[in-house]
Amino acid sequence: MTIHTITPAPQAPVVPGRGRLRPLGLGDVRITGGFWGDRQSVNGRHTLEHIGSRLESEGWLPNFDLAPTGGLVEGRRGREFSDSEVYKYLEALAWEIGRTDDPTLEQRFHDVVARVAAVQEEDGYLNTRFGRPGQPPRWSDLEWGHELYCLGHLFQSAVARERTRPGSDDGLLGIARAAADLVCAEFGADGRDAICGHAEVEVGLAELSRVTGDRRYLAQARLFVERHGRKTLRDIEWGRKYFQDDIAVRDAKVLRGHAVRANYLASGAVDVAVDVGDNELLKALRRQWDRTIARRTYITGGQGSHHQDEAFGDDWELPPDRAYSETCAGIGSIMFSWRLLLAGADPRHADLIERTLYNVVATSPAPDGRAFYYANTLHQRVPGIPADPDGTSPRASSSLRAPWFDVSCCPPNVARTLASLDAYIATADAGGVQLHQYAPASVRTSLDDGRIVAFDVDTAYPADGRITVTHMSDADAAWTLSLRVPAWAAGATLRIVTSDSVQQRSVDTGMVEIRHAFRSGDLVQLDLPMAPRVSSPDGRIDAVRGCVAVERGPEVLALESVDLGPAGVDDVGRVAIDLDTAPVERDGKVWVRVARLPLADGRWPYGEEPAGTDAESVEVPLVPYHEWAERGPSTMRVWIPEAP
């Protein structure tokens, strides 16, 4: 594990003090278009405005204006964690300003920070819901109050700002430091022996430590991580695992409980493990990741199969129709995987990030960037009901993308993720640069020895599987360009075109390394096989036994009722896939043959073996799962029963 001393720090959300890989930030890597560039553009042009507008109309931002007037006790609106949405919005603004230098957003950022500043008390305390006369006392409801959770997001926003606009005069870093100092005083080794019911302050403190160099914050993050599992939070109906307060982080075998909390805590624990050099803890977290991926993760990368407590189920409990797969849990999983990737350079972590980006993060926002999925079902049995465009939807039972939720953590979480996505594309190490995710991009960075490398990535991925790296700088000594070949991409080929040779070869999945003194104009071309694949579930995932999913590249595909007309059925509940004919790609779509199941109605549904399908199967198209319900209400399924 290499110790990084990088100046200036990369403009990235996670900058560990050590690790196998060093992140490249917005100053090094820019997404220049394509699948993710389009989404970043919608995010910057529409989603940020939409979120800002809703934060105002819901009162969550105006809450901050009420404190100086004394109106907060009577007039505060929103749930106990609504401050955090403002901070995630600030974080998203900070990244977007870093990407685009937009002066309107810059002004908005200053305005919002000023409003937040007005609420901070002299000793650094900052929350609109606790601590004033008439409000519950500070830290009086650690299970549900979310005070430290909110501060964690505040810290992340200040970190994003300081990394993208170091030394800005907006004052946010000072606000964050004052609050962090209070947290250290209140919850330090000699202070209150407690944790927050929702992990998040751990990642916030760890990054604040990295950005300020103040190790007290790291020590405090470590204390919070270590205090999990000591049962200091009250027991609740779903058990203390909901808060990850059932088992010490280093003793746990798998992620469990509330899926967002679990991933945020695991992320903070990696930060601590890496920065304090606790390899035992790091190993424990890797093992937890392994088992969580093997047994508790949907094919989309989504996590969480319980609606009631927004939680992981038991091993193998992955019902597609009751998938919770909260968008924020997907983002939390990316946070966890990214940290493990930086620490250990295992491409499986980047594989999961890709899967989760395409099939959870990309699924949430509508094409216009103004409506979102909070939960991401893999099987919709009843066509959804369009959400009120001016209203607030219930978070989990929303069956179509909705503009806002009573608990609206997901929209700003998507926004901050998309605005900082450039930082998840590539990393560097002593020997070269690693490309983990494929998007049109320009990379301009320096290696550890100070040599400049520059290359452009051109690709229509995932529409097409060809990724072309064109070198734009001349190296006088060899360095290593590493490309991730996803685990699904067996049969990938690599072509290297330099001034004096053309090589072509097949490459294994994992990381393929090309060591060369690249010259401007040299090309490295990776071809990933994009033919549709039929995937079967492990036999222990009972809920999808006898079904297959069809995938293409990094995208999971889905069958929607709107495409079932030719099959003579109006929902996806009575079709089976005919696998005698392989899925084919034609006209930019993947087609499969399905047959209608002849099923009797109105009788006791348990008895004789069901009959086979009708003789005739018909061809129907599938859509990428992330596009589902974009053509209006429909039924949908990812897992399609095999014809008997």
Tokens of 627: 């596009």
**Stretch touching a second copy by CB under 8 A, among 72-80, 220-228, 379-387, 413-421:** 379-387
Tokens of 16: 């560990």
CA angle 545, 550, 554 (to 5 degrees): 120
390 binds a second copy (CB under 8 A): no
**Stretch touching a second copy by CB under 8 A, among 299-307, 357-365, 442-450, 471-479:** 299-307
CA distances from 310 to 48, 192, 263, 329, 423 (A): 26, 28, 12, 9, 29
602 binds a second copy (CB under 8 A): yes
Query: Nearest approach, Cβ of 8 to a second copy (angstroms)?
Result: 38
Cβ 60 vs Cβ 82: under 8 Å? yes
3 binds a second copy (CB under 8 A): no
Burial class (CB in 10 A: 0-12, 13-18, 19+), 476: exposed
CA distances from 31 to 35, 37, 347, 499, 518 (A): 10, 6, 21, 27, 22
| Interacting residue with a second copy among 70, 367, 565, 610 (CB under 8 A) | 610
Contact mark string toward a second copy, 225..264, x via CB under 8 A = ------------xxx-------------------------
**Stretch touching a second copy by CB under 8 A, among 26-34, 57-65, 195-203, 285-293:** 285-293
* Sign of the Cα pseudo-torsion (599, 605, 607, 609, in order): positive
205 binds a second copy (CB under 8 A): no
- Report the C-alpha gap between 539 and 301 in whole angstroms: 18
Query: Nearest approach, Cβ of 342 to a second copy (angstroms)?
Result: 21
Between 33 and 633, whose beta carbon lies closer to a second copy? 633
- Report the C-alpha gap between 230 and 207 in whole angstroms: 25
| Interacting residue with a second copy among 74, 500, 587, 601 (CB under 8 A) | 601
Contact mark string toward a second copy, 158..197, x via CB under 8 A = ----------------------------------------
Longest dimension (CA), the chain: 77
315 binds a second copy (CB under 8 A): yes
| Interacting residue with a second copy among 321, 508, 513, 616 (CB under 8 A) | 321
Query: Nearest approach, Cβ of 383 to a second copy (angstroms)?
Result: 11
* Secondary structure of residue 567 in the 3-state scheme: helix
Q: List CB contacts of 28: < 8 A, sequence separation 6 or more.
A: 10, 426, 428, 443, 444, 445
537 binds a second copy (CB under 8 A): yes
Cβ 547 vs Cβ 640: under 8 Å? yes
78 binds a second copy (CB under 8 A): no
379 binds a second copy (CB under 8 A): yes
Amino acid at 198: H
306 binds a second copy (CB under 8 A): yes
| Interacting residue with a second copy among 510, 573, 621, 633 (CB under 8 A) | 573
Between 237 and 390, whose beta carbon lies closer to a second copy? 237
- Report the C-alpha gap between 326 and 615 in whole angstroms: 39
Query: Nearest approach, Cβ of 607 to a second copy (angstroms)?
Result: 6
Amino acid at 116: V
Cβ 546 vs Cβ 623: under 8 Å? no
Question: Which spans of this chain sit near a second copy (rule: CB under 8 A)?
Answer: 237-239, 290-291, 293-295, 297, 299, 306-308, 313-317, 319-322, 379, 381-382, 394-397, 406, 487, 535-547, 549, 573-574, 576, 597, 599, 601-610, 639, 641
